[in-house]
Chain A
Amino acid sequence: MGLMTLDVPEAAAGYSHYGVLARFETAKALYRACEAVRDAGYSKWDALTPFPVHGLEKAMGLKPSKLPFLVLATGLSGAGLGFALQSWVHIKAYPLVISGKPLFTWPAFVPVTFELGVLGAALGAVLGMFAFNKLPTYHHPLFRSENFTRVTDDGLFIAIEAWDPKYDDRDTAEFLSGLGAVEVEHVPIDDPAEDGDGVGAA
């Protein structure tokens, strides 16, 4: 899972905490907990795991990614641009007769059109993935947590953000404990003045 919904809105200024971070022992416990958090109606939260957990997006109730539509659009734009560029070059800019063929010989344009279509789709996929994941993000409040370093090792986490409408400092923490979390903590929001290097505490 990427950091899909984790962002600190402007309104965060009014919150004392980033939210609650809960660690689970097993992928199965995390999966069940995600289903419960989803069913409880939380919307500003994410699951964070060191490895892909199959079907977690269903347990979290995530909507399908919008990325494919972006890739289709950039791919078609690339193909269209490639075709238009060649047509313009061959008909208007440099009208040269090549091997006795008409100026507008569309079959000759297909290879470049195809390649630019692939290029457009590839760029759209990579850059779109970065954009949708809000990457690069150099720092994140979760890095304040000592526990959270385990997310690249064996830690399976759920983070519920303080600006979720259903969030409550105490109730949400108890809710997550009740779901079988082994560690639950409140994560503070960074104070920019205190965190001058911008790298994070963890």
Chain B
Amino acid sequence: MAHGPRIVRLDQLVIQPGSGWARLPLIAGAVGLVFTVVSIVLAMGSKESTKQFFHSWLVAVVFFLCIGLGCLFFVLIHHATKAGWGVVVRRLAENLACTVPVLAVLFVPVVALGMYDLFHWTHADAVAHDRLLQVKEPWLNETGFWIRTVIYFVVWSGLAFYFRNTSRRQDESGDEALSRRMARFSPVAVALFAVTLTFAGFDWLMSLEPHWYSTMFGVYFFAGTVVSAFAALTVFTLAFERTGHFRGVVTGEHFHDLGKLLFAFTVFWAYIAFSQFFLIWYANIPEETNWFLSRLDGTDLNPASWRPATMLLAIGHFAVPFFFLMPRTIKRNRTLLLIGAVWMLAIHLWDVFWLVMPNLHREMTFSLLDVTSLLGVGGLFLATAGWLLGRGSLVPSRDPRLVESLAFENI
């Protein structure tokens, strides 16, 4: 109501050659490659730094994979619910989800080389004396691990490209049947996504401590994944608005909704994180509590010093953003929402770090390799994202619900 007509030029929805966005793949790619090489050089310094490299690299790859997978989830749920409001930001999510194959390429060789250093259950001599690991061998064996890993990446990449390419086909034909087809397929895709994401969390993160298990771990991994994806979507949307591509397309209403989802999944993460801790704490069974003890003070015989890290996670991933993201005014203020989104990305990185690193160090330890790996993977992630975004419209320009999305207002 009462707005004048919003004029959106079609050429503003495409990244123009020579603009900052067009240079992103080259710059980010160069940074990524340089820091990947630096990481590898640093890794070859000593046996210790090799081990550190594998863990740091796993943190970096999983962190960016979370953004891609969370965006894939957004696309799936968007089609499954036939949502209207978010059509203008859906293409961003479609493109970010398609970074998964590149992250697979960054994941597979490094983890394959680092299997022995990362996963205790690959040590044949340890398994020989460990009843629990013998019982778990039908799942925790290298052949199974790699078959499953390949399945995860194939399923995710397949889904990501199916939805992106179908949506891009619609840009040309405007065929509404494509929307119906994606909506019909998306519930199946959601089920596939849920199963693969859960087991990927089990295989890549939970099995770092093979004696430990938590049936909630998959949901925990999912919750963090979605938080980071909405945070990343918010940052990208804000950036595209600032460079003028989304002027007149994305409004405060869309940011309000992205902020609401970011807030909701932050609360969901806290709910799941606490529930996981609570059940293990209450039952107090040694093989379960060990995982949390090594993230707190450890035991008398085997102390650890990760308590500040755990406190930071509880406060920074829940207490602070809960109150910060709650008010409507903050979600509708671009600067404050940007602060919230960047904070959630950072604290999600801390979450992944917290999941992986206590497996390597009993003492809270930071390494230069953490930074170089992050810059290496991050650069290549951004380069891929930039390259994907540069191909075609930044908005599904002939989606039947685009008008609904453009006119969307919160009541």
Contacts and interface: CB of A to CB of B under 8 A. Distances in A.
A167 to B, nearest CB: 25
Interface stretch (A52-60, A124-132, A186-194): A52-60
A180 B409 CA distance: 26
B1 A68 contact: no
B2 interface: yes
Given A54-B409, A54-B411, A55-B409, A108 B2 contact: no
A181 to B, nearest CB: 18
Interface residues of A, number: 19
A168 interface: no
A108 B409 contact: no
Contacts of B2: 28, 31-32, 35, 55, 59
A113 B343 CA distance: 27
A28 B278 contact: no
A107 B282 CA distance: 9
A54 B281 CA distance: 49
Nearest to B408: A54
Of B2, B277, B284, B411, most A-chain CB atoms within 10 Å: B2
A172 to B, nearest CB: 23
Contact of A56 (B1, B274, B282, B328): B1
Given A32-B2, A56-B1, A110-B274, A68 B281 contact: no
Of B1, B327, B328, B409, most A-chain CB atoms within 10 Å: B1
A27 interface: yes
Contacts of B329: 64
Interface in B372-411: 409, 411
Interface in B243-296: 274, 277-278, 281-282, 284
Contacts of B284: 99
B254 to A, nearest CB: 15
Contacts of A111: 278
Contacts of B278: 107, 110-111
Contacts of A32: 2
Nearest to A58: B2
Nearest to A56: B1
Contacts of B409: 54-55
Interface of B: 1-2, 274, 277-278, 281-282, 284, 326-329, 409, 411
29 contacts: A28-B1, A28-B2, A31-B1, A31-B2, A32-B2, A52-B411, A53-B1, A54-B1, A54-B409, A54-B411, A55-B1, A55-B2, A55-B409, A56-B1, A59-B1, A59-B2, A64-B328, A64-B329, A68-B328, A72-B326, A99-B282, A107-B277, A107-B278, A107-B281, A107-B282, A108-B282, A110-B274, A110-B278, A111-B278
The 9 A-B pairs of least Cβ separation, nearest first, read: A54-B409, A55-B1, A54-B1, A31-B1, A31-B2, A52-B411, A107-B281, A107-B278, A55-B2
Given A27-B1, A72-B326, A111-B278, 20 more contacts: A28-B1, A28-B2, A31-B1, A31-B2, A32-B2, A35-B2, A52-B411, A54-B1, A55-B1, A55-B2, A55-B409, A59-B1, A59-B2, A64-B328, A68-B327, A68-B328, A107-B277, A107-B278, A107-B281, A110-B274
